[in-house]
Amino acid sequence: MFDTHNLFDPATADTEFTFTTSDYALTVFGEPLSRAVHAEAPGVRLRFHQITVPAVDDIGATLAGTDGLFMPHGYLAGYPSVDLYEDRWSCMVAADNAGVDEHLTREHLARLPWVVLHHRPTDYAPALRQLTILGVEPHVDVVVENFQSMPFLVAGTDRIALIQERLARKIAPAAEVRLLECPFEVVPVKEAMRWHPTHRQDARHQWLRDIVARVGDQVTAH
């Protein structure tokens, strides 16, 4: 994708890249990215910072202080990006929730208590916002700051949550939960890495964008 071999040599580089990311993107993408970077650039270090609502609200300052921001399309405009992979939203209930069979209904969504992320106007879960558009107002029982805790707050209860399928496949086996199809059409997750345009001609950052894109292709293929 980028011809940077004469300007940046990953095999001998001694540098650090910083990223701002959710726990979701870090779990799904951080592992294959770190392996690929280590294989090509053993002297390169990666540092991941947890995304916050203020970081999203002040996106210009956030991008100026990081090499990349992992966030789905649909939130930010006006900044260049590298596409990573697509994902699907799934509904999650406890494995022993006798009130839910293999098929969820909108009545379930309106009746069951919810575990949600943040629950603020700048929420990071558009699938939950789609519920309100459909006229379903979720009864929020638990609010969390990360996606990884959701299965454990759903297990053994009558709660329900929305979770990304790629993340669920990694962490749901550790909790006694079931994944079910959402009873409404949900906009898929299209994850991307946003970056500040001042990096456009930086050979170091060009190499980063290239390897991020290649790892994204690998994740998409699995």
Distance separating alpha carbons of residues 5 and 2, to the nearest angstrom: 9
Segments making up each domain of the chain, as ranges: 15-86+189-220, 89-180
Number of H helices, E strands in the chain: 9, 10
The two tokens of residue 14 are: 């001694």
The two tokens of residue 20 are: 């701002």
Neighbours of 107 (CB within 10 A): 10
Q: Which one is the CATH code of 15-86+189-220: 3.40.190.10, 1.10.3720.10, 3.90.1010.10, 3.30.70.120?
A: 3.40.190.10
- The whole-number pLDDT of residue 5 equals 46
Domain 89-180 matching CATH 3.30.70.100: the answer reads no
Q: What is the pLDDT of residues 3-19, one digit of tens each?
A: 444 589 999 999 999 99
Q: What is the mean pLDDT of the chain?
A: 90
Distance separating alpha carbons of residues 55 and 162, to the nearest angstrom: 23
- The residue type found at 85 is Y
10 Å CB burial of residue 124 (0-12, 13-18, 19+) is middle
Topology match between the domains 15-86+189-220 and 89-180: yes
CA–CA distances in Å: residue 23 to residues 80, 136, 220? 22, 27, 19
Q: What is the pTM of this model?
A: 0.86
CA–CA distances in Å: residue 106 to residues 128, 151, 177? 13, 21, 19
The conformation of residue 15, written as its DSSP 8-state character, comes to: E
Distance separating alpha carbons of residues 22 and 3, to the nearest angstrom: 30
Q: Taking the alpha carbons of 153, 156, 160, 164 in that order, is the dihedral positive or negative?
A: positive
- The whole-number pLDDT of residue 152 equals 96
CA–CA distances in Å: residue 150 to residues 16, 59, 62, 137, 197? 31, 26, 27, 19, 35
Distance separating alpha carbons of residues 130 and 187, to the nearest angstrom: 9
Q: What is the pLDDT of residues 128-178, one digit of tens each?
A: 777 878 788 889 999 998 999 999 999 999 999 999 999 999 988 889 999
Distance separating alpha carbons of residues 158 and 184, to the nearest angstrom: 20
Distance separating alpha carbons of residues 150 and 163, to the nearest angstrom: 8
- The whole-number pLDDT of residue 197 equals 95
The two tokens of residue 127 are: 């699938």
- The whole-number pLDDT of residue 123 equals 53
- The whole-number pLDDT of residue 120 equals 56
**What is the average pLDDT across 62-69?**
95
The two tokens of residue 123 are: 């929420």
